[in-house]
Structure 1
Amino acid sequence: MTNGRDHRIDFFRGLALIFIFWDHVPANPFAQLTLRNFGFSDAAEVFVFLAGYAAVLAYGRVAQRDGYVVACLRILRRTWVLYVAHIFLLTLLMGIVFVANNHVETRDMVREMGLEYFVGNPQQALADELLLRFKPNLTDPLPLYILLMGALPLILPILLRNAALAIGLSIALYLMVPLLGWNLRAYEGGGYWYFNPVAWQLIFVLGGAFALHTQRAPIAKNPIRPIWQQPLFLVAAAYLLMAGVITVLWKFPDVHNALLPTALAELIYPISKTDLSPVRLLHFLALAYVVAKMLPTSLYWLDNWPVQQTCRMGRYSLEIFCLGVLLAPLADMANALADDAWQMRVITALLGLGLMLLLSNWLELNKRLGSPKAARMVEV
């Protein structure tokens, strides 16, 4: 942790943004390397968990230092920034998709991106866009983030006073999804939110609670047992291994159906991303626990160039996420125009990653040039 910022969080958030971009490009060969290929959860859980971690860590300090009212004002200001970014993102995305659709004759990219509603009813679609009800494909995480940040002034004081109570209330709300089917409606005829905020708020709250735990955790006086002697670690690792095997077997349906016991299949399926199925939730929690346990205690691993660049992307997560959303249909268009040749798929995946790196470095440079120290140097 440097200057009050945990660069490990930046690293994993940057990694999640890379995975999200690669997952958003159809038939992208690098998408075979992302989390969704090795377990029940994917980069979305990582993104939401770390969003909760970073938000509670940052605004919790503000609340303790400057008071709850100041923290609320800053949270609402950040929420407004996210909302404005969402509106601009949708505008740019629709323009890109319409241009791409005019050039790609073999596919209907407007339909694939979920923009038929806008084409058929533009006035109502714009109104629903402002109300976060109309969300074309690829944009769903941002409205969820906006809603969770908007609710943070209600969550934060409970977390700061009694994290266990906050988690208990969050779990109770999560249980309303399987018990009562709670979710928010999308636009008329558009069903419900793809990321059910009633369910996904639990990941956000757990991230915030973990942030507070890491700040308050006492330094262990007794020697810590090796991880292979810790029962919880072994259980979590075994669950990850089982989930990984099952996920790999999805590519071989006949083998999957032959090997997976019927009772186990009935227990875990269907695995809903929308409602954050328990097996997805448990998989992510197991993954987070195992990774946290296996991370080196020293921070030297953060000093190499690829990790630093990934951290930089995580530091500017909003801008990088928006760029990734815009690059995905452009990459898809380029791939389609090249008859989906594997060489073009590789080029677009790496070029998109390069542009994300370029933007993060430009933002970092711009921030440094705008700092008071840099301003004084320019004046001299």
Structure 2
Amino acid sequence: MEPDATRNKLTLRDPRADICRGIALWMIVVNHTPGNWLGSITLKNFALSDATEAFVLLAGYAGAFAYAARADRLGWINAATSLTQRVGKLYVAHIFLMVVFTAQVGYSAATLDRGAYLDELALDPFAEQPYRTLLEALLLRFQPAFLDILPLYIVLLALLVPGLALRKWPGLLLGLSAALWLGVRLADFNFPRWHGGGWFFNPLAWQLLFFLGFALGQAARGAPSLPLPRRSPWLTAAAGLVLGAGLLAMIATEWVPSLGERLPEAIPAFLATVDKTAMHPWRLASILALAYLVATYVPRDAAALRGRWARPLLIMGRNSLPVFCVGILLSFMSRLMLEADDGWAMQLASNLLCLGLLVLVGFVSEWQRGDGPAPRTALPDKSALG
């Protein structure tokens, strides 16, 4: 194969990543909707990881195609400038989403006389100290429930700016990332939040998963990187063991609590330490095991990935930022629907409506980008978060 052909093949957009991002976006909406029956079949019920881990890993993967490729072509300053602009857009999107979400929840609480909404979603400070709350929100120190994911991505993409300068030394980049993750866990350090405590997703810990995804993306596009693991029965067995252990843990603690009570005390005590905030090693191993199985046993050029049924998920994944923002609003709308009637008909209507609107947002965003059909070129610059 000619060098140019090889390069083009390596820089093609990976449909597996986009489809998985689309699935993760759908799972986030379902998981954020109390009473949704589909919540029992999302990833968090079967593994010690969930859609958030998948999304962060894939954001790093996409970042290698979007920004590392740009740095290779146009230089670090150009790529860093583009990345900084993207961080600014994410910040504006986060503030806009917070304003709309607060209005949605506040109006519903007043209209339906359910002030518990404000307390449950941690929005009551807006009623008590509106001006101070707005200031803290602008500083990212106030993060209501469900609105703590975009601040995480803002910091991760900001960390990618200096990370791009080390893209040609993947061992050093991942070594520094792992050292930071370990140091943060040992020191129990986190960004502070207003009213005490730290961020629910500690960016300084989650950056390791992001940069692992970045390294995988670098390897997939043929840039200097650590070698990708090849298909191996031993690695497959190890991945299956990690995921199987996680499944057994979920069965014992979530599905059949009586079974968990019969386990040795050391096991439930260990599972209680598997934290999400600072990216526990077991959660990290779980999502990496799942990524290995998908990457190894689902061919990148499989016809089904570009078929009619996969296209809606692929389009959602390609436009993840607007889809995510609308999904947050839809999750609360769906909650209101299910609180009015949680029968099977409303469950079906609610989930179909949410999924249909997410797909619609994806296609409208695709049309606005003017990219046309799924591209046959490198990832566009803005695709690291949609």
When normalised by structure 1's length, the TM-score is: 0.89
2:258 paired with 1:254: yes
Q: Show the counterpart of 1:180.
A: 187
- Once residues 8 and 36 of structure 1 are traced to their aligned partners in structure 2, the CA distance between those partners, rounded to angstroms, is 20
Deviation of 1:178 (Å):
2.6
Q: Show the counterpart of 2:316.
A: 313
- Paired residue type of 1:125: T
Deviation of 1:297 (Å):
5.0
Superposed CA deviations along residues 323-369 of structure 1, whole A, max 9, x for unmatched, are 0011111111222233x334323321221111101111122233339
Mapping for residues 53-132 of structure 1, pairs under 5 Å: 53-105=61-113, 108-132=116-140
- Once residues 370 and 49 of structure 1 are traced to their aligned partners in structure 2, the CA distance between those partners, rounded to angstroms, is 26
Q: Show the counterpart of 2:5.
A: none
Q: Aligned Cα RMSD in Å?
A: 2.2
Deviation of 1:87 (Å):
0.8
Query: Contact 1:196–1:275 at 8 Å: present in 2 too?
Result: yes
- Paired residue type of 1:231: W
Q: Show the counterpart of 1:276.
A: 279
- Once residues 161 and 318 of structure 1 are traced to their aligned partners in structure 2, the CA distance between those partners, rounded to angstroms, is 28
- Once residues 369 and 265 of structure 1 are traced to their aligned partners in structure 2, the CA distance between those partners, rounded to angstroms, is 50
Q: Show the counterpart of 1:378.
A: none
23-32 or 247-256, larger mean C-alpha shift = 247-256
Q: 1:283 to 1:157 in 2, by over 3 A?
A: same
Deviation of 1:268 (Å):
3.5
Query: Contact 2:16–2:300 at 8 Å: present in 1 too?
Result: no
Q: Show the counterpart of 1:355.
A: 357
- Once residues 293 and 107 of structure 1 are traced to their aligned partners in structure 2, the CA distance between those partners, rounded to angstroms, is 49
- Over the matched positions of the two proteins, sequence identity in percent amounts to 37
Deviation of 1:2 (Å):
9.4
Query: Contact 1:196–1:274 at 8 Å: present in 2 too?
Result: yes
17-26 or 172-181, larger mean C-alpha shift = 172-181
Q: Secondary structure at the match of 1:132?
A: coil
- Once residues 268 and 237 of structure 1 are traced to their aligned partners in structure 2, the CA distance between those partners, rounded to angstroms, is 19
Deviation of 1:263 (Å):
3.3
Q: 1:105 to 1:118 in 2, by over 3 A?
A: closer
Superposed CA deviations along residues 149-188 of structure 1, whole A, max 9, x for unmatched, are 1121111111x1211111111111111233111100011x
Gaps of 5+ in 1: 219-223, 372-380
- Once residues 3 and 202 of structure 1 are traced to their aligned partners in structure 2, the CA distance between those partners, rounded to angstroms, is 24
2:206 paired with 1:200: yes
When normalised by structure 2's length, the TM-score is: 0.88
- Once residues 67 and 289 of structure 2 are traced to their aligned partners in structure 1, the CA distance between those partners, rounded to angstroms, is 27
- Paired residue type of 1:201: Q
Q: Secondary structure at the match of 2:165?
A: helix
- Once residues 2 and 67 of structure 1 are traced to their aligned partners in structure 2, the CA distance between those partners, rounded to angstroms, is 20
Superposed CA deviations along residues 69-103 of structure 1, whole A, max 9, x for unmatched, are 10011001111110111111001000100122123
Q: Show the counterpart of 1:232.
A: 235
Q: Show the counterpart of 1:245.
A: 248
2:172 paired with 1:165: yes
